[in-house]
Structure 1
Amino acid sequence: MSGVTKVEQYLQAAIRENTRKSYDGAIRHFEIEWRGFLPATADSVARYLADYAGNLSVSTLRQRLAGLAQWHVDQGFPDPTKAPVVKKTMRGIQALHPAREKQARPLQLAQLDQVSKWLNQEIQHAQDCGDRPTFLRHSRDKALLLLGFWRGFRGDELSRLEVQNVEVVSGAGMTVFLSRTKGDRNNQGTFFKVPALSRLCPVEAYLDWIYAGGLTEGAVFRRVDRWGHIGDRGLHIDSLVPLLRIAFASANVPFADQYSGHSLRRGFANWATSNGWDLKTLMEYVGWKSVQSAMRYVDSVDPFGQARIENALSANQSRHIPS
């Protein structure tokens, strides 16, 4: 292998797969869809933004800029996205095309319980009928659901879990090692502790799936075909959301099509804060490095301020009641 090839290999490894795909998509869109030239000028980038303002969301335009910026840095050219005309154009687009940030619907504990019960029924029925493909798929989905919720994992983290990097301590929990996470900027790897629980237990669900699939190494969550054959590779991240939505809809969870991979993470964050976890503890558990990142996932326990105002009204009324 040549030295240049090795360098390119390490450069690619330094960027998360999803980020790299996003950057590649940005370059294709700029060159092929818009017919722009690279290296780009600041004026051409500004025109590109203006042409797609209102059609693409502000967050998508930011992703396009990040991809263009990375391409210029990698190729040794000046970064045109840092020019004043580009920054002013983006500020103008934000002012004229404000958009509410879309957030995943958080999965509540009651809904988690509802889906888990449905999966248990389906697993038992498939086992009784000798339907191995269905038995395997639902066993996998139950493990993915419970582990994703109680550990607050992202979709890409679930898809990259490997059996040899999971260590189970019977009755206590398990330790999961991920070589790369979004918050691990130095790629040192991160260990996550997963508790064994009296119900809705992620550890039990994980062991059931591993045993059913006969998995000893490689990806934890894999494709199961209609004949019950388990794939060698991990599930593609794009397949996780349809998989979850099908399970939610089958379990009669309302608004099933509004859930995404982030629903498990947001659901756990809201459950934790409503049960007395302070923000620092939640950040350490999930792995958030900044308060801003954590707050994007946490909803207020009293979003309308009703409880605070009602308590104040009651207190004021009691003070004015004549003795």
Structure 2
Amino acid sequence: MKHRRDIALVLIGFLRGFRGDELARLHIEHTQAEVGAGITFYLPYTKGDRQHQGTTFHTPALIKPCPVQAYINWITVAGIAHGPVFRKIDRWGNLADGGINSNSLIPMLRRIFTQAGVPSDIYSSHSMRRGFATWASANGWDIKSLMSYVGWKDIKSALRYVDAGSSFGGLALKPSAPQVEIL
């Protein structure tokens, strides 16, 4: 059960670009998932929603790995139909009624990454958001599309999350490629 929760947590956190507190505040009543279509999350308030009007976030279904399928697998195995999406599971496998605390997300992520064989001490609750922004940028998302998807209103905020890259559009020589002298 913990494994299913962890997969859903990482996939949704990364592919939606959520902050840690947003992941902790997701509720099943505010989530609609349809296999093959996508998943929609509604948060009554977010950091950027100063008027507390609420924000809806949509993530498409993907071929693999799919956050929609991971979410459905998690809530089905957990047998939950209302309340927080992500909950604590004690060492005996008992599922808590309340949601995870956003402060527990860093140790939780580090445990997940350590178990996956990834050096974990450099990760924080913003790592998934930053990782998504960098991944999207490296895969051709323009800054306006990225800002719209994640929910950033200020370009300076968005750019702080994107790591710089230098691809040269595939024109750079590979280290093993022979060097050609240009006259």
Question: Do Structure 1 and Structure 2 share a fold, with TM-score over 0.5?
Answer: yes
Return 5+ residue gaps in structure 2 as ranges.
173-180
Pair 1:152-2:37 in alignment: no
Q: Partner of 1:153: helix, strand, or coil?
A: coil
Pair 1:181-2:33 in alignment: no
Q: 1:288 aligns with which of 152, 162, 176?
A: 152
After superposition, the C-alpha distances for 1:254-306 in whole angstroms (9 at most, x for unaligned) are 3x11101111001110110011100000000000010011011011112xxx8
Once the two structures are superposed, the pairs formed by residues 163-174 of structure 1 within 5 Å of their partners are: 163-174=28-39
Aligned mates of 2:130, 2:57 — CA distance in 1: 18
Pair 1:197-2:68 in alignment: no
Q: Partner of 2:161: helix, strand, or coil?
A: coil
Q: Which residue of 2 aligns with 1:301?
A: 165
Who wins on radius of gyration, i.e. which is larger? 1
Q: Which residue of 2 aligns with 1:10?
A: none
Deviation at 1:200, TM superposition (A): 1.2
Aligned mates of 1:201, 1:307 — CA distance in 2: 30
Paired letter, 1:182 = K
Q: Which residue of 2 aligns with 1:264?
A: 128
Aligned mates of 1:258, 1:226 — CA distance in 2: 25
Alignment coverage as a number of residue pairs: 174
Deviation at 1:185, TM superposition (A): 1.1
Paired letter, 2:150 = V
Runs of 4+ in 1 over 3 A off after TM superposition: none
Aligned mates of 1:195, 1:203 — CA distance in 2: 8
Q: Which residue of 2 aligns with 1:245?
A: 110
Aligned mates of 1:222, 1:296 — CA distance in 2: 30
Paired letter, 1:235 = I
Deviation at 1:226, TM superposition (A): 2.3
Pair 1:138-2:37 in alignment: no
Q: 1:207 aligns with which of 72, 76, 79?
A: 72
Aligned mates of 1:253, 1:205 — CA distance in 2: 21
Q: Partner of 2:56: helix, strand, or coil?
A: strand
Aligned mates of 1:190, 1:238 — CA distance in 2: 22
Deviation at 1:307, TM superposition (A): 4.5
User: Does the 8 Å contact 2:24/2:101 carry over to 1?
Assistant: yes
More helix by share: 1
Q: Which residue of 2 aligns with 1:224?
A: 89
Q: Partner of 2:104: helix, strand, or coil?
A: helix
Q: Which residue of 1 aligns with 2:175?
A: none
Q: Which has the higher contact order (CA 8 A, sep 6+)?
A: 2
After superposition, the C-alpha distances for 1:180-231 in whole angstroms (9 at most, x for unaligned) are 1111111100000011111111111100000011111100000111222211
Return 5+ residue gaps in structure 1 as ranges.
1-135, 312-316
Aligned mates of 2:69, 2:76 — CA distance in 1: 11
Aligned mates of 2:133, 2:89 — CA distance in 1: 30
Query: With structure 2 as the length reference, what TM-score do the two structures score?
Result: 0.90
More strand by share: 2
Aligned mates of 1:227, 1:271 — CA distance in 2: 36
User: Does the 8 Å contact 2:35/2:69 carry over to 1?
Assistant: no
Deviation at 1:252, TM superposition (A): 1.1
Paired letter, 1:292 = K
